[in-house]
């Protein structure tokens, strides 16, 4: 094989390889597919931790805030961000113009209902007033279970025989008796009896996240 034929063969082999890999022969594939929104802040994390029964602690850390003016947090009870509402009014000021990252914390305690799963989102506002929702990153969407339903007296996020057994073991315990514990008095009528058992049993096998759990 002459040198010319060898070079032609190598070129053909390279083209075949590109065709197999599904890549164009130009250098176009080396470009990033999409640029991030220019004024959206980079967040290292956004997390939520339940401190039952007082508050849910929300924490986030930014990388730099050169064009970030404010933050706001949204909360919902479904995974659909369109159903979430803003919980931080007024907005939380950022550090506009800073190339440093900052740590933030917010305690959410408004209207929390035991037995509910809360979904959170974070948005940052750029200098132009536009809110960036960060919807494309599941790491910035904490999901926080909050407490137990009053019917789930054992508090293991399912209403089942364990709750009925726990209630039955306190049968006829009334306010003032050493065995009385208001936690097991489902209907809060100062006695633990068949009514409480009936209420829990009516939600048999309901788990946290289901409407019947509440």
Which spans of this chain sit near Ca ion (rule: CB under 5 A)?
Answer: 185, 187, 189, 196
Q: How far is the CB of 199 from Ca ion (least distance, A)?
A: 8
In the complex, the smallest distance separating the C-beta of residue 179 from Ca ion, rounded to whole angstroms, is: 13
Q: Phi and psi dihedrals of 205, rounded to 5?
A: 70, 10
What's the CA gap between 58 and 72, in Å, rounded? 11
Cβ nearer to Ca ion, comparing 144 with 150: 150
Question: To the nearest whole angstrom, how small is the minimum distance from the Cβ of residue 169 to Ca ion?
Answer: 14
- For the CB of residue 196, give the shortest distance to Ca ion in the complex, in Å: 4
56 in Cβ contact with 88 (< 8 Å): no
Helix crossing, 161-168 with 194-201: angle to 10°?
180
Contacts of 67 (CB under 8 A, 6+ apart): 38, 39, 41, 96, 126, 127
Pick from 49, 46, 51: nearest CA to 73: 46
Looking at the Cβ atoms of 27 and 176, the one nearer to Ca ion is 176
Looking at the Cβ atoms of 25 and 198, the one nearer to Ca ion is 198
Q: Which is closer to Ca ion, CB of 144 or CB of 197? A: 197
Q: Toward Ca ion, which CB reaches closer, 152 or 196?
A: 196
H/E stretch holding 105: strand 103-108
Shortest Å, Cβ 209 to Ca ion: 26
């Amino acid at each position: 094989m002459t040198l010319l034929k060898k070079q032609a063969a190598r070129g053909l082999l390279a083209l075949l390889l590109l065709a197999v890999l599904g890549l164009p022969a130009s250098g176009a594939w080396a470009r990033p597919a999409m640029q991030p929104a220019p004024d959206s802040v980079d967040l290292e994390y956004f997390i939520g931790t339940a401190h039952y029964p007082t508050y849910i602690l929300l924490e986030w850390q930014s990388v730099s805030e050169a064009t970030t003016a404010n933050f706001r947090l949204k909360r919902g009870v479904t995974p659909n961000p369109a159903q979430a509402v803003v919980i931080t009014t007024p907005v939380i000021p950022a550090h506009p113009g800073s190339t440093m990252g900052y740590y933030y914390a917010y305690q959410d305690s408004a209207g929390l209902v035991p037995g509910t799963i809360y979904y959170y989102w974070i948005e940052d506002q750029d200098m132009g007033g536009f809110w960036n929702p960060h919807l494309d990153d599941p790491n910035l969407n904490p999901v926080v279970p909050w407490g137990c339903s009053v019917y789930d007296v054992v508090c293991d996020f399912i209403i089942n025989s364990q709750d009925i057994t726990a209630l039955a073991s306190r049968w006829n315990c009334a306010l003032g008796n050493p065995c009385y514990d208001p936690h097991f008095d489902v209907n809060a009528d100062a006695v633990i009896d068949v009514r409480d058992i009936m209420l829990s049993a009516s939600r048999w096998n309901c788990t946290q996240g289901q409407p019947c759990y509440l």
